[in-house]
Structure 1
C-alpha cells in the first residue's frame, strides 16, 4: 500500500507543451552547405534543409556588460546534480542498431558469449565514454512507444538476434509494430555499463495490465543490478485511446487503476529484488494542466521558436510547479523523453546549430529549476533531432560511419560544466538585463564557483552582435574584496558557417565529429582551451562570445583540470565493427521505416506517437503541402518512486 500511495502522490499533469502545426512550404533559397554528406541514402536525416535565421538585432555594437558573480553560493541555486544531467533516450525498436548485440568478446567483460558476429557498436561505446570522461557516468533510457506491447524472450531470439519487429495491426503509417526483444539486449546494456559506467531507465509492457508481463523487468533487475535506475509504467497513456490501446473514454483514473495492478504484480514477483524503482506518469500531450494551443509555422517560422533565451524560459516555466510537487514528496523529476520537437523534429532546425544552442540552454534551465535529468530522444534513420545516428545498412556496407548531431555537442558541454563530483548547482544569470539574444549560467561544484556557460543566439557575420561579458567575482558590486583570479579558461562551441542554420560539422574546443556518416565517435583535432587574463584592478575578466556560439568558462585551474578524466579518453577501436548488418524488420520499411521518425521512402511520415505527430499522409488532399502536427519541446516527464 505504501508504494501505491507513493505513486498516487505523483502529479498526473506533468507535461506542458504547446501543439504546433508545422507546414513545410519552402526551404531558404541558396543556403550554403556546411557538410559533404555522401549521397548514399534517401532518409530525411541526411536530406539537409536550411532555414533562414532571424535578422540580427538592429545595433551598431553591444557595449561590454558586467556579469556579477560571488564566491559564496548564490541564493536560489539549484539542488546538487550529477555530471550527466543531459542524457540520451533510445527508442526500443532501434536499440540494437544503436547499441549493438551482446558482443565485445573479452572474457573479463562478456556476460554471455555468443557467436563472433555479435558485437557492441564501438562507436556507441566511444560516445558514451566521452560523456563518462567528463561526467563520471552516463544516463540512457531505452524505451518509448515501442516498449508498450514488447514481447520479451528470456531465452533469446532465434539466430541470436536482439530485436525483431512484427506488424500485428491493420498496418498504416502510425501503427506501431510489436517488438520482440531478446535477452541479448540486456546483456549488451550490461556490457556497456561495465565499460562506460552507464545507468539505464527501461520500461515494462503496459498494453495489457490484466496479464502483467514482467519478464523484461526481471532480466533487468538481475543483469543490470544497480545500473538499473528505474522501470517506466506506461508511455504516453494520454494517447492510449488514439492508439487504440484502450477504450475511447480511457482517463487518468483508469491509468491509476492500471498502475495499481502493475505495482501489485511487481510486489508479488519474487524474481524482482528492487520493487521501489517504478516510474510514472509519462505523458505526451492531452493530460496537461494547460490547454495546448495550435499555430501554423513555415520552416523558418518554426526555426524562430528556438532562437533566444526567452523561448527556453517560456518552455521550462510550465514544469516548475510539477518539479516543486515532486520535491515536496521527496521524488526526483526526470524528463524521460525530450528534444526540440516530437514526430522526429523540424527540418532545418532540429538538425542545425540552433538546436545545439537551444538544447544547451534548455538543459541548463531544467537543471536550474531542479529537474534531475533530461533525456534527449533518438529515433530511427529519418529522425532529425538525433544526438547520434548509426549509418543505414546500405551505407554501413560501404564503410560509412555515424552522424553526430547538435544535441550531442550540447551534452559534452553540460558534462564538462557540471563535472564528475555530483555536486553541481546551477543558476540562471539572466545576463545583460535578461537580453533574450543571449543566455548565461553559473555552476558551483562542492559549494565553490566552478564554471560559467555563455550563449549568443544571434546570426550576424558583421560582428555587431558579438558580446563581451565582463565576469566579476565579488568586488565593489557586492561590497566585498576583489576575488577574480589572474586567469580564466575558455572552450568554445562554434560553426564554420557562422550561422544558426548551419549543419554539422560543428566544433567544440577546436574538436569535431565531422560531417554526416563520417564519425567513429571519437573527437578529431587538438583540443584548444583559451587562457584569458583578468584585470586585478577592475576585477573584470572579459569573455567575448561571437554570434552565434557558446562558451564554457572555467573560473579556476582546478575546474579546468577536472573537466576531463584523461584516463577515460582511450577510444574503443572501431575496426571490430562488422559491415554485415542484418535488417530484422518483418514489415514493409515504408510503413515503419525506423520508428519514431519520418519514413525513409517517398517521404512518408511515421511516428510511434500517433496523437503527437498527427502522422497522416495528407499530400493527396493538400496538393504539395505536407502538414505534420508537432510539439515544441515535446517531452515525457517521469518521477522515480521512493
Structure 2
C-alpha cells in the first residue's frame, strides 16, 4: 500500500510550507526580517516553523534488504530485557507540580491522568520523577503556611543559591505526597523523589520519612543530590568541591538514615545524577562509590541534554546563541544518537555487574527549554524514538523526559494558561508520542530486548532496530529522517527472517507532513490534537496497515514515507498491535478558574539541565511575568478567580478529602 495515500487517509498533508518562520521568536529565522516585536505568546505555544532540511547530496538507497534472525540466541549485542513501565518516564520540575499534577489531592488534573493512563495501558506502569534543581532547598511546611497560595500543596521562596542559577527553595506540604498517593491509587504509577542536598550537616529527611509512609511501595527511589558536579558553579558548595566530597556526603546521609525507624527501606537511594558536563559518571566511580554504597541503592542515574538554548532564552547571556535552523540536522542523523549514548556504555556494564537499573534521570531535546521549531515539531518525536531505542540498546532501563512550565518549547504536555482555561485545553508535545510508542515497542512481557541493525549500510537517515520478546523476533522499528513530498525518498524495506516470514505483518506509522511540522502528528491514525486541544485522550480511529508477505521469496516489503517511522509487528496476537485509547479514562467534573502556578524566584535554573524560568520582574508563576530576550513576554500575574463548577471542563477533577 502506498503510504502517502495512507497519510492522506489519516488527515496528513504532504505540502511543504514555504514560509520559513511564522512564529513569535526570531530563533529559527533563515533570512533577514524587520525588527521583531515582543508578543504575549508563551514558548509552549510558539508556532515558529523551520525550513525543511535539504536532502543529502548523495542519494540514499531507497530499497534495501534486512536479514533478521528469528531466534535471539544467535543475535550478538542484544540489550538486557526491559521490564515494565515502557521505557520513557517523566521528570517534573518541582516548580511546576501544581500546573501538571493539580492543585492538591482533591483537584487533580484530568488530562495528566488520561495521558498517564495511555502509557500504563501499553506498558502496564508509568514512572515519574518529581524534582530537579528545585528539590535541593525543599522544606516541609504546614498546609496553612501564609507563604503558600490557598489550597496549594507547595510554594517557593528565595534560596541561598547563587551563581548562574538562582534556584528557589521549594516549600512542600504533605498534601503534595497525598496527591501522588491519589494518582497512584487510580493509575499504576510509581514515583521518584529527591532528598534536599543543600545542607549536608543538618539533613532534612521529612520527604524521605513521609514519602515512605504515604507512598509505600509506590515510592521507588530517592535521589541523593541533583547534578552535584554543578554545585560549585551554582554556589551550593565552596570552590574545590570534588567527587570525593560528594562520596563522603552520601556516606553521611546513609549514616543518618540508618537508625531512623521512620525510614524502613534503607536501600532506595539513586545517584550520582551527574550532568556529564563537569563530571562524567566515571569520575564518581573512581571514588569507590559503587563498591561502598551499592547495597543502599535502588539504581544508578545520570542526566544529559545534547544541547542547551540558555543564551537565547535568558537576558544577560550573550555568547553562543544558537540558530535552531543551523542545528536541525543534528536531530535527523542517527550517528548523533549513537554518539550521544556511547559515553555511557561503561556505566551500563557496571550497572549490570552490580544488578542495578541505569536511568537517564533527566533529558530532552535541549536544556533551558529546548529550541523553537525543533522541540515542538515532528522531528522531536522521531528523534526521541531513535534516542530512546539507542539508550535501551545500551542497557538503560528508563529515561525521564523533563517537563517545565509554559515558558519552554520541549514539554511532552502543558496545561493551558489559566486565563484561557475556560476555552482551551492542554497541549501535547511531539515527544510525548515518543513515550507512547516506546511503551508499545517493549509492551508488557518484561522480556523485550533490542538491537541497532545498522540498516542500509549504516545510513544516518534510515536507522532500524529489531525487538525480540520471549527470545523470538517480535517487532522491527524503521526510520526515515528525510523529508520529501515527492515520494522519491520513500523507503521500500525488504524484511527477511531466518526460517521464513509470516503470511503478513502489521504496521503502525508515526506520520506528519514534514520533519518540521508542528501540527497534525498521528500515530496509527490517531492524535491527541494540536496546541490547546488535548484532554489526554487519543482521537480518531486506529489505523493499522496489514502488509502481505511473499513467503515463497521470504520477504515482507514495508514502505516508510519521507519522513516517517514504522513499527512492524510480526506477531498478529501482539497486545500492543490493537491498543488504542486507554480503557480507563477520567471525566472532568470541575474547572479551576484561577492562577495555575505557584510563586517563583527572580531567576531559576538558567544554565543547568532542566528549566524553570528566569528574569521575572516579580514573583510570578512559571510563565506569568516571564521576559525573554527577543522572545515572548508572559501576561501579568492574575488574581484568583474562584472556583467554577463546569461539567465537561478541562483542567481538574474533583475528589473527596477522605484519607487526608
Q: One fold, TM greater than 0.5?
A: yes
- 1:639 match: none
Asked if residue 581 in structure 1 is aligned to residue 594 in structure 2, the reply is yes
- Report 1:414-429 matches (<5 A): 414-429=438-453
Separation of aligned partners in 1, 2:586 and 2:40:
27
Match for residue 245 of structure 2 among 238, 254, 271: 254
- Structure 2: how far apart are the matches of 1:47 and 1:567? 28
CA contact (8 A) 1:452 1:553 kept: yes
Q: Does the CA-based 8 Å contact 1:134-1:563 persist in structure 2?
A: no
Secondary structure at 2:573's aligned position in 1? helix
For residue 207 of structure 1, what is the aligned residue in structure 2? 198
- Paired with 2:218 and 2:330, the residues of 1 have a C-alpha distance of 37
User: In structure 1, the residue corresponding to 2:338 is in which secondary structure?
Assistant: helix
Q: Give the equivalent residue in structure 2 for 1:263.
A: 254
Of 140-149 and 581-590, deviating more is: 581-590
Aligned-pair CA distance for 1:53: 3.0
CA contact 2:467–2:473 (8 Å) conserved in 1: yes
CA displacement, residues 576-629 of structure 1 (integer Å, 9 cap, x when unaligned): 242323356344778799x82455979x9x99xxxxxxxx9996xxxx799xxx
TM-score by length of 2: 0.79
- Go from structure 1 to structure 2 and tell me whether the alpha carbon gap of 1:333 and 1:494 turns closer, same or farther (over 3 Å shift): same
Aligned to 2:46: 47
Distance 1:618 1:407, change over 3 A: closer
CA contact (8 A) 2:384 2:431 kept: yes
Query: For structure 1, which runs of at least 5 residues remain unmatched after alignment?
Result: 1-22, 32-38, 104-117, 475-480, 608-615, 627-642
User: Do residues 492 (structure 1) and 477 (structure 2) align?
Assistant: no
Distance 2:522 2:170 in 1: 37
State the aligned residue count: 558
Give the stretch that moved more between structures: 299-308 or 275-284.
299-308
Map of 1:534 onto structure 2: 549
State how far apart, in whole Å, the 1-side matches of 2:167 and 2:252 are: 24
Please, which of 371, 376, 379 is the counterpart of residue 401 of structure 2? 376
Alignment of 1:17-166 (within 5 A): 26-28=28-30, 42-58=41-57, 62-73=61-72, 74-83=75-84, 84-103=86-105, 118-153=106-141, 159-166=150-157
Tell whether 2:477 aligns with 1:453: yes
Is 1:464 the counterpart of 2:488? The answer is yes
Secondary structure of 1:350 counterpart: coil
Cα gap change, 1:390 to 1:173, in 2 (>3 Å): farther
> Kindly tell me: are residues 183 and 289 of structure 1, through their superposed partners in 2, closer, same or farther at Cα, counting changes over 3 Å?
closer
Deviations 1:408-441 (A, max 9, x none): 1011111111111111111111111111101111
Deviation at 1:242, TM superposition (A): 1.6
Higher relative contact order (CA 8 A, sep 6+): 1
TM-score where L is the length of structure 1: 0.81
- Taking a change above 3 Å as real, the CA distance of residues 517 and 320 of structure 1, as seen in their structure-2 partners, is same
Q: Which among 454, 458, 473 is matched to residue 434 of structure 1?
A: 458
Question: C-alpha displacement at 1:86, in angstroms?
Answer: 1.1
**Deviations 1:130-166 (CA, angstroms, capped at 9, x unpaired):** 0011001111111100000011237675644211111
CA distance in 2, matches of 1:132, 1:456: 28
Separation in structure 2 between the aligned mates of residue 563 and residue 589 of structure 1, nearest angstrom: 48
Gap change, CA 1:528 and 1:589, over 3 Å in 2: farther
| 1:592 to 1:250, Cα distance in 2 relative to 1, 3 A | closer
1:229 aligns with 2:228: no
Change (3 A) 1:334 1:564: farther
Matches within 5 A, 1:585-604: 585-587=598-600, 596-599=611-614
2:497 maps to 1:509: no
Counterpart secondary structure, 2:591: coil
Matched, 1:413 2:437: yes
Q: Which runs of 5+ in 2 are unaligned?
A: 1-24, 284-305, 308-318, 633-660
Contact 2:390 2:452 (8 Å CA) reproduced: yes
- Tell me: CA distance 1:347–1:601, structure 2 relative to 1, closer, same or farther (3 Å): farther
Q: How far apart are residue 444 of structure 1 and its match?
A: 1.2
RMSD: 3.3
Q: For 1:462-511, what per-residue CA distance to the aligned partner results, in whole angstroms no more than 9, with x for missing partners? A: 1111111111111xxxxxx4x2000100110011xx21111133111111
Q: Give how far 1:296 is off.
A: 6.7
Shift, 1:524, TM fit = 0.6
